[in-house]
Amino acid sequence: MAILSTMMKRSSILLLLPAVLVSAQTFQRLGTCPTLGCVIPPDQTDFLAGQHFDIRLEVHAPVNGSEAFNEGVPDDAFTFCIEKVGSKKGCVDAAKFFGVKEPALEKWTFDYFEDLFAQDAGSASVVNVASKAFRGLSLREPGEYLAKLSYYGGMQTVAHWAVPKPVTKRTAKNVIFFIGDGMTQNMITAARLIGHKSINGRYQTLMQMDQMEVLGHQMTHSIDSFITDSANSASALMSGKKCSSGSLNVWGDSTPTPFDDPKMETIAELFKRKRGGPIGMVSTAQIADATPASLCAHTRDRGTYAANVFEYLHSPQDLNSTLAWPTGCGGVDVIFGGGAEQFVAGKGSWEGKDFYQEFAKAGYNVVQNKTQLEGLSGSKKALGIFTVSHLSKWLDRHVYTNNLSGQKNSPTGDGSDATDQPGLKDMTLKAIEILHAQAKKNNTGFFLMSEAASIDKMMHVLDYDRALGELLELDDTIRATIQYLKEIGEEDDTLIVVTADHGHGFDVFGGADTKYLAEQDTDRAKRRAVGIYEQSGLSGYQVVSGSLPNNNTVVFGDQGPNFPVTWNPRYAFAAGFGGTPDHREGYVVNSGGIRQPTAEEEDGFVANPNDQPNGFHASGTLPPSSGQGVHSLTDVSVFANGPGSDAFRGVYNNVDIFFKIANALGLAGGD
Ligand SMILES: *[C@@H]1O[C@H](CO)[C@@H](O)[C@H](O)[C@H]1NC(C)=O
Ligand SMILES: *[C@@H]1O[C@H](CO)[C@@H](O)[C@H](O)[C@H]1NC(C)=O
Ligand SMILES: *[C@@H]1O[C@H](CO)[C@@H](O)[C@H](O)[C@H]1NC(C)=O
Ligand SMILES: *[C@@H]1O[C@H](CO)[C@@H](O)[C@H](O)[C@H]1NC(C)=O
Ligand SMILES: *[C@@H]1O[C@H](CO)[C@@H](O)[C@H](O)[C@H]1NC(C)=O
Ligand SMILES: *[C@@H]1O[C@H](CO)[C@@H](O)[C@H](O)[C@H]1NC(C)=O
Ligand SMILES: [Zn+2]
């Protein structure tokens, strides 16, 4: 499709234009708006037929800086029309086109830095804005649309929108959508290396992900940056729209409040509205965190945790009754995860209310530990919150279990330890049991999102072992899910999709003799312990014969196959990262708890001298203000099983995944 075009008819405006076009490579005035007039939803947006969305129009008049225009007076007489390509009606005034009232004019001012020099100088550019917003619209007819904003007496911004031909026939009754947060193929390969045994280079068992019916891969770019964060990448998956980092199911506008930005309807909202079926969210993160929140929340700032949880129980309309929004999750049927901060009455919860009680009053079973989770029946909706903050990691829950004490993370908020926590598998299987029971009542099918959140969280702190433990737990959960679907007779009706929201630049490049490394005195000598090519050796994680260092090897009796036998072999994998802060590297498991690779000093982060003390110093490549590793550009894999899975072959954009799932569920069309 054509790119956004700005046409000028007045030469006085033409002369000013080059400044507008060359500025703002990495420091943008507004990411969704490269011109002085903004149509949001922006150019290149596709909608599911009947999917709800808002429109925000902005006309900018920068007061100063290189983009200064029209003496800082924004055109408030702008016009906006919609043309359905091929329609004889031409471009129809938007209020008439949608059959709604012309919205009121709004005005405000914001500022931004044009580049690092301006930021250093503390010299922000000021912008005055004239705007209108339409709320809760939809496009029902398939085809291409041109949304045209005309302003400053001759400038025009045209957004090309498209509505693909609706697929209304349902091929899958249920969808289970697994997200390995930050998970790349490199990590899956590393997890296979430590969790599965090979003989002479051939694996004797495989990951469940290796055995899925369909493999594809997806591109993860943001609307306004090539690296994405977990909020906008999850919104791309759930709503089929590109947006800016930090945004959940809204396109970022330039107003100060995060709650009035133009919204988009999510797959969970659509499933509730059109199918009337139950939806579930399971995560090993704080449940208000970006990926679970992407099912229901609409906010420019992913950190509005209390409001995110409010939207699990109510709708955006209840949050601000002046902003019409015809849908909402309105009571997610199953919610399992961490993040008691938003439930215990206090400063983290919406209006300081006790949200355990709010959910109980709305008819939910409420549980706070694994024993209670196991006892849940499918008769009611369920809320399970098992920790303050994110759940403890698989490695600590199963191997270094002493690390569960002293965390003061009980979900009751009473400062005791959460020692009876479920894992992703426990939560996911119970969620399916409850959703299946609920869905049976009206034969609706169900939609479940299950997230292995701490693959990402542990990669950020360069704790590769914990990250891979989480990944193996995800794989084990997928395996158990397929088995459980067979048992309850739903396998043939269930589409399973497994993917990530983005990657991290992690890969394994050799083996490391951790004993030799620890005993050398200089950084350069320590690096001699890294074995490359033929000296990378064989995986030490499965082979338990021979002597083990320090005799502190943990041996699994009860974890069954598909996990390492030991986590601290003498010959460990040597791995590295695409973008890191300064840190120390010794390639040993962090048995004492989650790795803390950096320490903060006045001018930013430095290597933490207490982390991997026997390792060598590795110089960082990131800004000193960054104390963790960061997301990277890589495409990520998509695996699928079941009805509708064929659509997931090939290479496509993250937003296409929403359409593939919606098509399998037959959610397009109608109102
Ligand atoms: C723009 O004006 C504001 C307010 O007068 C001022 O603080 C700022 O430094 C100016 N920015 C530039 C880029 O000149
Ligand atoms: C609701 O949205 C309107 C329009 O953006 C805004 O003026 C108002 O402050 C909002 N109310 C609340 C309670 O956020
Ligand atoms: C689980 O929670 C219930 C209710 O608070 C409590 O009675 C029980 O002792 C807890 N079980 C464990 C193993 O912590
Ligand atoms: C089943 O449908 C009825 C009627 O539409 C509705 O009242 C009820 O809540 C639905 N049950 C479930 C479990 O969704
Ligand atoms: C290693 O530890 C095990 C279990 O604590 C103990 O039985 C064994 O004697 C130890 N072996 C050596 C060589 O210290
Ligand atoms: C974590 O667990 C390991 C082994 O169980 C133990 O050696 C270590 O002291 C624990 N760390 C903390 C902070 O409890
Ligand atoms: Zn993420």
Tens digit of each residue's pLDDT (9 = 90 or more) over 216-235: 999 999 999 999 999 999 99
Q: Per-residue pLDDT for 7 more than 60?
A: no
Q: Per-residue pLDDT for 103 more than 60?
A: yes
Q: 107 CA distance to ligand 1 centroid (A)?
A: 19
CA distances to 113, 471, 550, 590 from 568, rounded to whole Å, are 48, 18, 10, 9
- Which pLDDT band, with edges at 50, 70 and 90, does 322 fall under? confident
Per-chain mean pLDDT for the chain = 92
Tens digit of each residue's pLDDT (9 = 90 or more) over 293-320: 999 999 999 999 999 999 999 988 888 8
Name the phi and psi angles at 535, rounded to 5: -95, 5
Q: By C-alpha distance, which of 480, 105, 47 is closest to 267?
A: 47
pTM of the model: 0.93
Cα angle vertex 407, ends 402, 409, to 5°? 125
Residue listed under structure tokens 């098509």: 663
Pocket probe mutation, ligand 2, options 58, 134, 257, 261, max atoms within 8 Å of Cβ: 257
Tens digit of each residue's pLDDT (9 = 90 or more) over 606-618: 999 999 999 999 9
Task: Please indicate whether residue 323, judged by its CB atom, sits closer than 6 Å to ligand 2.
Answer: yes
Averaged pLDDT for residues 476-490: 97
Tens digit of each residue's pLDDT (9 = 90 or more) over 500-541: 999 999 999 999 999 999 999 999 999 999 999 999 998 888
Q: Per-residue pLDDT for 18 more than 80?
A: no
Do 343 and 385 meet the contact criterion of CB atoms below 8 Å apart? yes
Looking at residue 543, its pLDDT comes to 59
Do 260 and 252 meet the contact criterion of CB atoms below 8 Å apart? no
Buried b (16+ CB within 10 A) or exposed e, 46-83: bbbbbbbbbbbbbbbbbbebebbbbeeebbeebebbbb
Task: Please indicate whether residue 435, judged by its CB atom, sits closer than 6 Å to ligand 4.
Answer: no
CA pair distance 23, 281, nearest whole angstrom: 41
CA pair distance 71, 63, nearest whole angstrom: 6
CA pair distance 556, 565, nearest whole angstrom: 6
Looking at residue 9, its pLDDT comes to 32
CA pair distance 39, 231, nearest whole angstrom: 22
| Per-residue tokens: 252 | 């970022």
Do 597 and 610 meet the contact criterion of CB atoms below 8 Å apart? no
Tens digit of each residue's pLDDT (9 = 90 or more) over 542-560: 854 444 444 444 444 334 5
Superfamily of domain 174-488: Alkaline Phosphatase, subunit A (3.40.720.10)
Letter for the amino acid at 262? P
List all residues 6 or more positions away from 151 whose beta carbon is below 8 Å from its beta carbon: 36, 37, 59, 75, 78, 79, 157
Q: 554 CA distance to ligand 5 centroid (A)?
A: 11
| Per-residue tokens: 213 | 């019916």
Q: Per-residue pLDDT for 10 more than 70?
A: no
Looking at residue 4, its pLDDT comes to 32
Letter for the amino acid at 360? A
Q: 371 CA distance to ligand 3 centroid (A)?
A: 7
Averaged pLDDT for residues 174-186: 98
Looking at residue 198, its pLDDT comes to 86
- Which pLDDT band, with edges at 50, 70 and 90, does 17 fall under? very low
Q: By C-alpha distance, which of 371, 400, 535 is closest to 463?
A: 400
Q: Per-residue pLDDT for 365 more than 90?
A: yes
Report the share of the chain in percent with pLDDT over 90.
Answer: 86
108 exposure class (CB count in 10 Å sphere: 0-12, 13-18, 19+): middle
Domain spans, the chain: 2-163, 174-488, 510-618
Q: Per-residue pLDDT for 208 more than 70?
A: yes
The residue contributing the CA closest to ligand 6 atom 9 is 592
Task: Please indicate whether residue 368, judged by its CB atom, sits closer than 6 Å to ligand 3.
Answer: yes
CA pair distance 64, 671, nearest whole angstrom: 45
Do 495 and 570 meet the contact criterion of CB atoms below 8 Å apart? no
Asked if omega into 18 is within 30° of 0 (cis), the reply is: no
- Which pLDDT band, with edges at 50, 70 and 90, does 580 fall under? very high
CA pair distance 461, 607, nearest whole angstrom: 12
451 labeled part of a ligand binding site? yes
